[in-house]
Amino acid sequence: MRIHEGQPVLRDGAPLATAGAVLILLHGRGSRAEEMIELGRALRLPNVALVAPQAADGEWYPQRFLAPRAQNEPWLASALAVLARLIDEVDGEVRLREMIVLGGFSQGACLAMDFAASHPRRYAAVLGLSGALIGPLDSRNEYRGSLGGTPVLVGCAERDPHIPIEHVRASAQTFRDLGAVVTEQIFPGAAHTVFPEEIAWMRRLAL
């Protein structure tokens, strides 16, 4: 099933043909691609192309991220295929192949992190904003390959009602095992949001 095929892909910032980097941002469950474009604009990163795909019916997959992967199919496979097509498009611009930032918030963060871990290569950065790798904790050893020193931000509230902290910490360790340079930011409280410290980290990216 091609569940997410044909959904809008919003673009902003620098044109792909002249951009120095590309920021692909994925929205959370029940949200819209427009919100990710606004997040990208708020970063004030010059010469960066912003790309935000829209999920069908506002969600990338129907069950919680920590459910067995089979319970989120075929939606999950369709969502990963959307990302693969967008990255193939960027890869057509040879100078941008290592200048892709892949990130998202909440469900979008889970999807972005899962894609990066299952398609390891050098990215400009991977952003996991209130998210974790998809699947039960015991599935973390299935990832293979190297992220080649990719900077990875794993951020979440300590008592996030949607993201158990043990999944956040396990995801951070998985990215370390894949050769990423991980910044793990755990914030006090239970807010499910993008934190100012995460915005500051993203603004420091050398893009």
User: Is 37 inside any structural domain?
Assistant: no
Q: Tens of pLDDT along 27-83?
A: 999 999 999 999 999 999 989 999 999 999 999 999 999 999 999 999 999 999 999
- What per-residue confidence (pLDDT) applies to 102? 98
Please give the residue range of the domain that contains residue 169: 63-203
pLDDT band at 19 (very low <50, low <70, confident <90, very high): very high
- Report the CATH number that the domain containing residue 195 is assigned in CATH: 3.40.50.1820
User: Is 3 inside any structural domain?
Assistant: no
User: Is 46 inside any structural domain?
Assistant: no
- What per-residue confidence (pLDDT) applies to 71? 97
Q: Tens of pLDDT along 77-119?
A: 999 999 999 999 999 888 999 999 999 999 999 999 999 999 9
- What per-residue confidence (pLDDT) applies to 98? 94
Averaged pLDDT for residues 2-23: 95
HEC string of the chain?
CCCCCCCCEEEEECCCCCCCEEEEEECCCCCCHHHHHHHHHHCCCCCEEEEEECCHHHCCCCCCCCCCHHHHCCHHHHHHHHHHHHHHHHHCCHHHCCCEEEEEECHHHHHHHHHHHHCCCCCCEEEEECCCCCCCHHHHHHCCCCCCCCEEEEEEECCCCCCCHHHHHHHHHHHHHCCCEEEEEEECCCCCCCCHHHHHHHHCCCC
User: Is 47 inside any structural domain?
Assistant: no
- What per-residue confidence (pLDDT) applies to 1? 64
User: Is 196 inside any structural domain?
Assistant: yes
Q: Tens of pLDDT along 132-191?
A: 999 999 876 679 999 999 999 999 999 999 999 999 999 999 999 999 999 999 999 999
The structural domain count of the chain equals 1
- What per-residue confidence (pLDDT) applies to 207? 83
pTM of the model: 0.96
User: Is 83 inside any structural domain?
Assistant: yes
